[in-house]
């Protein structure tokens, strides 16, 4: 018997996302309709709606979990028509969720193979892809009303912070590889306050996982 992915998608929203206080109607609507399997390699498509980390391509990159990306997108608190930067966009699923909510989305990816897969998966959408070092952000398209990091960072790159609009929100999982717990941080405004939203753990984004400080 073949797996009913539409039913699995519905169950993901109802059993993984909604119970964790994700209530944004625009986000829930696109979560119900956007096929996540489109953004995964064939062997992993049956697991598209599981609550386990899923590899993205041969790069070793690991996807965020549904609870993670849903809560983080909601925390951006962006309004339709506003501009969002997705850092470490991978194959474009989170970027597509945001585009489906009516946002103007820029997808930043450093891995050309993942970006190519993402560009193919998002053909026909308004998403703009950029391929470069993630630390650089997209200064030519700044400021952004929201900036989302799709993986862990040991610290938020200063260029990305500077690209946040005065009234915007930046959301990222902050921690080093092998940390057992990582806080999800939201920074409001280019020089605004920083708050911890919840705790989780995620794989680091390439080039954004600094080594542990050396101690004598």
Active site residues: 63
How would DSSP label each residue in 50-104? SSS--EEGGGTEEPPPHHHHHHHHHHH---TT-EEEEET-TTSHHHHHHHHTT-E
Token pair 């096929």 in the structure block, residue: 35
Nearest to 201 by CA among 172, 215, 181, 178: 181
Q: What's the gap between Cα 175 and its chain centre?
A: 16
Q: Can you tell me the distance from the alpha carbon of 130 to that of 10, in angstroms, rounded to the nearest whole number?
A: 32
Q: With H, G, I as helix, E, B as strand and everything else as coil, classify residue 16.
A: helix
Name the packing angle between helices 66-76 and 25-33 (round to 10°): 140
């Amino acid at each position: 018997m073949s797996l009913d992915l539409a039913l699995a998608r519905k169950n993901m929203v109802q059993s993984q996302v909604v119970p964790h206080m994700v209530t944004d109607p625009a986000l829930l609507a696109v979560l119900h309709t956007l096929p996540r399997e489109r953004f995964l390699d064939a062997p992993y498509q049956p697991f598209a709606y599981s609550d386990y980390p899923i590899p993205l391509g041969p790069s070793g990159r690991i996807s965020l979990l549904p609870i993670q990306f849903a809560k983080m997108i909601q925390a951006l608190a962006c309004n339709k028509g506003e501009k969002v930067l997705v850092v470490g966009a991978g194959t474009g699923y989170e970027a597509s969720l945001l585009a489906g909510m009516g946002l103007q989305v820029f997808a930043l990816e450093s891995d050309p193979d993942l970006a190519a897969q993402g560009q193919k998966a998002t053909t026909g959408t308004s998403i703009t892809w950029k391929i470069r070092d993630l630390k650089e952000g997209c200064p030519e398209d700044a400021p952004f009303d929201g900036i989302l990091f799709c993986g862990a960072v040991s610290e938020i790159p200063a260029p990305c912070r500077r690209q946040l609009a005065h009234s915007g929100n930046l959301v990222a999982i902050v921690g080093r590889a092998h940390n057992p717990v990582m806080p999800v941080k939201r920074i409001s405004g280019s020089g605004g306050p920083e708050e911890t939203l919840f705790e989780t753990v995620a794989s680091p984004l390439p080039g954004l996982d600094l080594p542990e400080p050396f101690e004598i």
